[in-house]
Amino acid sequence: GGGNFGIILAWKVRLVPVPEKVTVFTVGRTLEQGFTKILHKWQHVADRIDEDLFMRVIMQPSKTQKGNKTVLGLFNALFLGHANQLLKIMRRDFPELGLEKSDLSEMSWIESVLYIAQFPSGSKPEVLLEGKSLFKNYFKAKSDFVKEPIPESGLEGIWKRQVEDEGALMIWNPFGGMMSTIPESHIPFPHRNGTKFMIQYVVTWQDGKSSESRHMEWIRKLYNYMTPYVSMLPRQAYVNYRDLDLGMTRDGNTNFIQASAWGYMYF
């Protein structure tokens, strides 16, 4: 993936068992509903809450009922088990979210793939074979790995910047589980044990070149703001979110040290 160098001579697919039914939920919380404190707690539990639970957070600008700018956080999850079991886990380890039985939906695993990928409700599994993107827009993406929880003061700084661009989006994907059982030096992908979660920064727009510079400037400013809160020496990046900013030579002058930086960040 990600255009890495290598020649594959053979590969195998090993099917793993999944439950007959899995459970999903998407629960939204705004800043006015205490999202900052809830997300701060999420950082402490998401990578170790339960090996069968994946719970990411999707953040985007929104507006209050009075029309004021705010941030909406969507807790989007998949649990390999039944709803009652998940509810017990959440009430024990993450009660701050306030999850209710009515928030949960049980379905087959393949249906959950469509759900997490945000296909319209009622889509058939065959749509996964079509290879068509759900999103048709211009975008720029960047990434980070986080090893320590970001303090509430740091989160508040993120919100101030996120409401500045209507196309802003952040996705925080937890690590932990099987990822934490493999030391970072054992395989080419090093971002494993010791990583709490990964951030994907995204900004989207529809009008092509006319607003490109504004959106690019916004995401780069947010990325710079995040510097003290993410991995460092080197600052790491996810290879499948190709970021052409990494390794870019400055002022048009070829510089090997600058150009080679992307390799250290990805690998």
pLDDT tens digits, one per residue of 149-186: 999 999 999 999 999 999 999 999 999 888 888 877 77
What tokens appear for 167 in the block? Answer: 């196309």
Q: pLDDT tens, 98-156?
A: 999 999 999 999 999 999 999 988 899 999 998 777 778 899 999 999 999 999 999 99
Third-level CATH fold of 21-119 = Vanillyl-alcohol Oxidase; Chain A, domain 3 (3.40.462)
Q: Are the C-beta atoms of 59 and 161 separated by less than 8 Å?
A: no
Structure tokens that stand for 226 in this block? 């995040």
Of 138, 225, 241, 264, which one is the catalytic site residue?
241
Q: What is the largest CA-CA distance in the chain?
A: 60
**Segment 209-262, tens digit of pLDDT:** 888 999 999 999 999 999 999 999 899 999 888 888 887 776 666 677 777 776
Domain boundaries, the chain: 21-119, 138-266
Q: pLDDT tens digits, residue range 37-54?
A: 999 999 999 999 999 999
138-266 fold = Vanillyl-alcohol Oxidase; Chain A, domain 3 (3.40.462)
Contact indicator for 125, 114 with CB cutoff of 8 Å: yes
The answer to whether 21-119 and 138-266 have equal CATH topology is yes
Q: pTM here?
A: 0.90
Known catalytic residue: 241? yes
